[in-house]
Structures are given as C-alpha cells and as structure tokens.
Amino acid sequence: MNLLKKHRNVILRLMDVIIVVMAYYTAYILINDQVFINIEENRIMINTILLAIMTYSCVLHIFKTYDNITRYETGYDYLIYVLACLISYTILTTLKLTFKLNTIANTRTNMVAALMIMTAIVSYRVIIRLILTEGYKVQKDGGKLKKNVLIIGAGEAATIILKTLKSTMKDTYNVVGLVDDNINKLNYAVSGIKILGTRNDIIRICQEKNIELILFTISNISNEERKNILNICQQTGCKVRILPGAKELIQNKSLMDSFRNVEIEDLLGRDAIELDNKNIVKLIKNKVVLVTGGGGSIGSELCRQIIKYNPKKLVIVDIYENNLYDIEQELKYNYPNQNIYAIVASVRDKKRLNEIFEEFKPYLVFHAAAHKHVPLMETSPLEAIKNNVFGTYNVVNCSDEYEVKKCILISTDKAVNPTNIMGATKRLCEMIVQAKAKESKTEYAAVRFGNVLGSNGSVIPLFKKQIASGGPVTVTHKDITRFFMTIPEAVSLVLQAMTYAKGGEIFVLDMGEPVKIYDMAVKLIRLSGYEPNVDMQIKVTGLRPGEKLYEELLMAEEGLEQTKHDKIYIAPPADITMKNIDEKLKKLNKMIESCNNEQREEIKKTMKDVVPTYKESK
C-alpha cells in the first residue's frame, strides 16, 4: 500500500500496459482457439499491441484518469474509464479500416481485446479502492464500540455522508440503514446501505437495530415536515443531529462538524415568512434610521435587517457598550460601505437624546431599549419604570420634536393584562405611544410579540447549558406555556408592520400555538440522546415573582383586525390622551422621588392605579 501511494501514477500506467498486452494475447487465443502463434502473426500482434498501448495510454492521459485519487473514485469516474476505452477502440478500428493496415490485428481481435481492457481497468481500480477504504483506520481512544447510526433521507447528501463515513470514520460509526418517504426506494441500497423504511418505521428500526445516533440529511423539506419527523425521532431516545444544507458539507473539513444539534426552531415547524419588500425598501432606502437598544437581541437583529435595505445612515444607540461594539463591528465588517454610527447613550437621558436627534435627524425610529427580565424587575421596580416608561416617553417626545416620520415601539405579550412590573411598564409604554399619535404628525405604533428564541435570557439557551452540564433542567411549572418566535422572523414582521403604521395602532404578531415549556424541555433532552427524568432530571422550581402560567397576546376589549399580512393583526388606537398620560407620569415621578426599590408594595399600588389592567399573579 505504501509503495502504491508513493509511486501510484507510474504503477497505474504500468498496470494498464500489462492489461493491454494480456488482453490482446488472450483475445487472439480465444478467437483462433490456439495458444501458439507463428512468426508472422506474432509480428502483427506486437505491432498491434504497441499501437494499442500508445492509443490507450494517450486517451486515458487526456481524460486525466491518472490524476484521480483511487480511494475517492465514484461511478462517474468509472464511466470515464469506459468512455476512454471505447474511444481508444474506435481509433484503432478506424486506423485499420481507413488505411487497410495488414500490420495490425483484425477488427474482431480489437473488439474482444477492448472489452477485456475496459473490464480489467475498471475492475482493478474498484478492487484497489475497496482495499484502501477497508485498510484506512482512524485510531480512537480506548477502542470504543462503534455507534449504530440511522440516516434519514436517501438523497445526494446521504450519498456523500455514507462515502465519508465509510472511508474515514469506519471505526467510529456503523450505518445500519436509511429511511426515506419515497416508497419507490424501499429495499434498494445507497452505497451498499439498505433503505429500511419510511418515517413511520423510525421508532421500530431504532429499537431493532439499537440505534444511538440519527443523522437528518434532508435539506429541501418544509419546516412543518421537518418538525413532524423530528417529533418521531424524539420518541426513540436517540441523539439527533441535523445537516442544515449541502453548503456545510463543502465548507467543513470534518463531516460531523457539518451537522448541528436540533434546535427548538426545528420543532416549532415555522415556514419562512414572506414580506412585502417593496414597501420596506421605500421606507428605509436612503433614509436615516435610528435604533435604540441596538445592542440587544431584538435591536441587533433589527440593525442586521435594516442595513440590507441600504439606509442613508444607521444610528445605533445603546447604554451597554460591549453589545454596541459587537454589533457595530459585525455590521462594518459585512457592510463596509454603509454609514453606521454607534452611540453610547441612555434613553433616560433626554438631553443626550436631543443631541443625537439634532445631529442625525432620523426619518425612522425603532425603540427597542428596555429592561425585560421579569424577576429582576420585580426586585428593582423603580429601574423598570425609569428605563421603560420614562425612556419611552423621552424617545416619543424627541421623535415628535424632530419630526420623525415613524416611531415604532417594541412591546411584549407581557403587556397584556400584566401580572408583573415589567409587563405593566410595557403596557404604559404602549399607552404613551397611542396617546402621542393623536397629537403628532409622527406616526407612532407598537409591535407586540411573545418570547423570541435564543434572545438574551430566553429559556432555550438556559436549557442547552443545563443539558450540556448534565442537568438538571429547570422548569418553573409543569403547565406553563409561552408563545415563541425566532428573532429573525419577529424582526421581519416588525419591519412589515412599520409599513402599515398610520398612528396609534398596536400590531400583534401571530405567534402560532402556545408551547408548553415542560414539553420543550422533554424534547430537547430526548433529541440530545437522554431520557427525561432517567438520564437527566427535569426539576420543577415553582413560578417566579410576577410570572404567570399563560401569556395573552391581546386584551379582550381591544378587538382585532387583520392586515394584508396573514401574520400581523391590528388593535385599534386606545381612547387615551397625552393629558391622561402626563397625569399618570406625575404620579410615577412623585413615587420615584419618595420611594426606594425596597418599597415594592407602594410601587405596585401606584402602578395599579396608573395601569388599571395590572393585577398581580396569585
């Protein structure tokens, strides 16, 4: 093997020469039914073989067959060998018939020899490939047993994966079969691995074959179908990994690095959201756009999507310099020709906001700056009021003073019938926006949605960390439910809602069906290859202060109208004026001056007076 690797090109050429010689002598013997060759016929055979060697060698060289790495040859490469042999035969036959050469063998001998050469050249290369593949061993520590693997999908990606697993990971993974929903493929094989059934057979196959790992290789599949198959997989107790697309196979040197762990987004089954990009482009292109809280989860994604529509300037405001720096550097690297301004400032500081609005005169404002963690705001309620309520008040007033076209508030489902301080402050923010819209040329609106997957403080990153550290996975209540949406789709709908805003609306995003947090924990644990409450405990810790079992997206009295987009609904403007708002804010100001964060009951009492729908959870 070492000799072959070192001098492979010379050895392969020599092998082909030997095959040509032996093929012609064998063909002569078969056709003439005699072993001994007289002097004249031997001269003809020698001339024929020399011409054949030159012809076959030149054609094989032209087709670059000697440049192939034998271990990685495929059916396509073998077809090239066959084609090269046919062309060589055609050249020899043409020379014989055209020039009527009596010094080379007859056409029949050439044909039989060509068939032998073709078969032999392909066969010995296949044998070498099999020997090399079998002999290539990857050393693993401790001589661990191979993992039994089931592959979902019997397409192009599965073929590449099987080939790589066989050639470089044979000692680690044992692929026992594939599943595919195309019933015409059943009982056929891909690279020697049999297709054992459809998705309906996954559980049975995993039990019978002791599967430990499932590789999901289908990329061209709807999110709903992916969710359905993954729901079946999570019942098997096997670890599941997903191949996002063919690009990952090319980009990653290691095959298994191409796969990712199952994300909860896969289990939600959301299809891609379609946007009316023309109206979004019209509003953003060549305009100055300002985003407060631009370093946060929602704010940073807003910046990523806004920059794609070529604003004249993108102004990012955040008090937390580390996140602000990160998003600034990311955008400047990806969009070096765009005008991006990162400004450290707090929305609490009206004077600083005035300076920013005076300098940049934004056309659009997205207000995402807020304190959002429910338990933390329960212990520091005055901070929530200062930042969320008065910060929003400052942004809203600056937008009016500097004649901003549209100002969009990022709100939350926790503002609906709030049971905690954070939700109550966000509801008051919505009221400020609705009231200001009645007396300003600026078009104000709020966009309300539920939990976003992967955001800072979201439950999913917490679950992943807990699973990675061996558990337990903590859930506050077995029946607690939440609405979920990915950050990109939430922000996409915010941009779309902006195009519908006329003034005072609360846009409610369709979050789909509410999801039980406990069920999400169970699925993530199972898809990570563990059995809930056997291999990994789920610990119910009890509801946190201000937390409620079920979130609502819309207050009963608001009513709901559908927009042109099937995922966006409108709650009509509320009957509230800035005079009412100013009276409420005076009460809050007075409370801030007289109370501290320890006087929580007094603060909550005032907030209930200011936000009538605020009722503490029991």
Residues marked as catalytic: 414
**Cβ neighbours of residue 428 closer than 8 Å, sequence gap 6 or more:** 388, 389, 584, 610, 611
Where helices occur in 308-349 by DSSP H, the ranges are 321-334
Structure tokens at 473: 């996975």
DSSP run (H or E) holding 530: none
Q: Other CB atoms closer than 10 Å to residue 119's CB: what's the count?
A: 14
- Pair 342, 276: CB distance under 8 Å: no
CA geometry: angle 514, 519, 522, nearest 5 deg: 155
- Max distance between CA atoms of the chain, in angstroms, equals 122
Alpha-carbon distances of 136 from 71, 75, 133, 167, 258, rounded to whole Å: 10, 21, 5, 7, 22
Q: What is the 3-state secondary structure (H, E, C) of 534-552?
A: CCECEEECCCCCCCCCCCC
Cβ 174 vs Cβ 205: under 8 Å: no
Q: Which residues neighbour 269 within 8 Å (Cβ) at sequence distance 6 or greater?
A: 223, 224, 226, 227, 228
Question: Nearest 10 degrees: CA dihedral of 374, 376, 379, 380?
Answer: -100
How many other CB atoms sit within 10 Å of the CB of residue 339?
11
Q: Locate 373 and state its tokens.
A: 């963690």
> Following CA atoms 199, 205, 206, 207 in sequence, which dihedral angle do they give, to the nearest 10 degrees?
130
Extract the tokens encoding 478: 């077995």
